[in-house]
C-alpha cells in the first residue's frame, strides 16, 4: 500500500515538474514574441503614423507596374556594370 502511495506521489511530482517546465517554456516563447512584436511596431512607426499599409499598397496594380519598371531599370544598370567590368580596365 505504501509503495502504491509512494508511486502516486512520484507521479504527481513528475507531472508538476513537467507543468513547471512547460510554463517556463511558454513564458520564454511569449517573452520573445512580445518583444519581437514590440520591435516590429517600433520599425513600422512611421507607416502607422501615416496610415500606410504596405501590403495593401503593393497589392495595387500600379505597384506591380512600378516594380516591373524598377526591375527593368535594375537590369539595365546591371548590364551596364557588367559591360563596364568587361571593357573598362
Query: Is residue 27 a contact point for another protein (CB under 8 A)?
Result: yes
In whole angstroms, how close is the CB of 88 to another protein at the nearest point? 39
Residue number with CB closer to another protein (45 or 87): 45
Residue number with CB closer to another protein (34 or 75): 34
Query: Is residue 84 a contact point for another protein (CB under 8 A)?
Result: no
Residue of the chain from 25, 38, 59, 69 that contacts another protein (CB under 8 A): 38
In whole angstroms, how close is the CB of 50 to another protein at the nearest point? 9
Sign for the CA dihedral angle at 84, 86, 87, 89 comes to positive
Q: Give the 3-state DSSP-derived string for the chain, with helices as H, strands as E and coil as C.
A: CHHHHHHHHHHHHHHHHHHHHHHHHHHHHHHHHHHHHHHHHHHCHHHHHCCCCHHHHHHCHHHHHHHHHHHHHHHHHHHHHHHHHHHCC
Query: Is residue 86 a contact point for another protein (CB under 8 A)?
Result: no
Query: Is residue 4 a contact point for another protein (CB under 8 A)?
Result: no
Amino acid at each position: 500500500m505504501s509503495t502504491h502511495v509512494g508511486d502516486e506521489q512520484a507521479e504527481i511530482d513528475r507531472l508538476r515538474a513537467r507543468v513547471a517546465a512547460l510554463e517556463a517554456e511558454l513564458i520564454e516563447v511569449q517573452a520573445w514574441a512580445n518583444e519581437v512584436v514590440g520591435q516590429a511596431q517600433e520599425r513600422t512607426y512611421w507607416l502607422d503614423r501615416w496610415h500606410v499599409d504596405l501590403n495593401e499598397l503593393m497589392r495595387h496594380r500600379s505597384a506591380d507596374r512600378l516594380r516591373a519598371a524598377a526591375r527593368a531599370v535594375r537590369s539595365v544598370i546591371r548590364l551596364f556594370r557588367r559591360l563596364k567590368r568587361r571593357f573598362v580596365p
